[in-house]
Amino acid sequence: MADYSDIIDEFETIATAFTSVNYFRYDRVSSMNGQQKAKGYPMILLTSTPNTSRGVSNTSYLPKRKEFTFKVFCYDLYNTAQKNSYDLQTAQATVDKILDQYIAEFISRNIDGANGFSIVDREQISGFMAHDVLNDKLIQSVYDVKVALDSDCTTGTFSY
């Protein structure tokens, strides 16, 4: 049965295979500041601080299914060099298209739950776009993606 790390591995596998993406990062958004040499753009950032919901419990009060809501970002550079080559709306359209393609592949690969998890409310995925973000003056597109994981949690050992 899948666990949380399998979800993250799947996000990374897709980003690594996607020719439009040059880098994948699983971390906090604040980690994007600094370390220019350690990054490549366009980049997918999956936040390492998702919201989570336990859902319905079994007879042992353990969750039957957990849901994780991830923020999935697509970043690209939009500094002076890029501004001289194309306008803001073109840059935003590019990162938005990359993120749509990336999320579509994630849904497609996991639609049937064969990997042990699935996407919740895939028609309700929403987000926003921004520019001049973080130290690198990036453009971004972001979606909130909710992933459901069947829980195989067992009771722990307690010594009273």
Summarised one tens digit per residue, pLDDT across range 76-118 is 988 877 888 888 999 999 999 999 999 999 999 988 888 888 8
In order of 5, 71, 142, the CA distances from 149 in angstroms are: 11, 17, 22
Q: Which DSSP state fits 2? A: -
pLDDT in the model for residue 60: 77
Structural domains in the chain, CATH included, are: 4-150 (3.30.70)
The helix (H) or strand (E) run that includes residue 117 is: strand 117-120
pTM: 0.89
Q: For residue 9, how far is the Cα from the chain centroid? A: 11
Structure tokens at 31: 């980690």
Backbone phi and psi for residue 128, each to the nearest 5 degrees, phi listed first: -160, 170
